[in-house]
Structure 1
Amino acid sequence: MKLRDKLIKETILIPMQATSKEGAIQEVLTHLQSLNLLSDTIQLFTNIKEQEKVFSSSTGR
């Protein structure tokens, strides 16, 4: 599976309602789950949070 195959109009979420980074991640995961592109968003969210502890995506900002 390639990202460009999944990055279609329906997968783009604009505007977003989230006001925090964690909220934005959860909003995107929930949206992708509603399109049947993801099944276990809870585990994926947990994995993303763990990865953030190791290397924050906001590093250098």
Structure 2
Amino acid sequence: MTRDWLTADPVITMALCVRCKTVTYAPVPIRYMQSTSGPGTTLYACPAHAVALVTGPVPGELEPGM
């Protein structure tokens, strides 16, 4: 048995919650925003706020005058 896994760099996943603005180590992707130039951006939420956030615009949300 080798010990290579002891010296490997750990992958740390963390992101900023879009609702509470705190760093979470268990981010949940809630929305992907496309960009006209370059890669898009994924927005994340902490597990506590992810259940309350919808995963995109609801019908009528983007209509003018709302």
- Give TM-score scaled by structure 1 length: 0.27
**Structure with larger Rg:** 2
Query: Which structure has more helix as a fraction of its residues?
Result: 1
Query: Which structure has more strand as a fraction of its residues?
Result: 2
- Give TM-score scaled by structure 2 length: 0.26
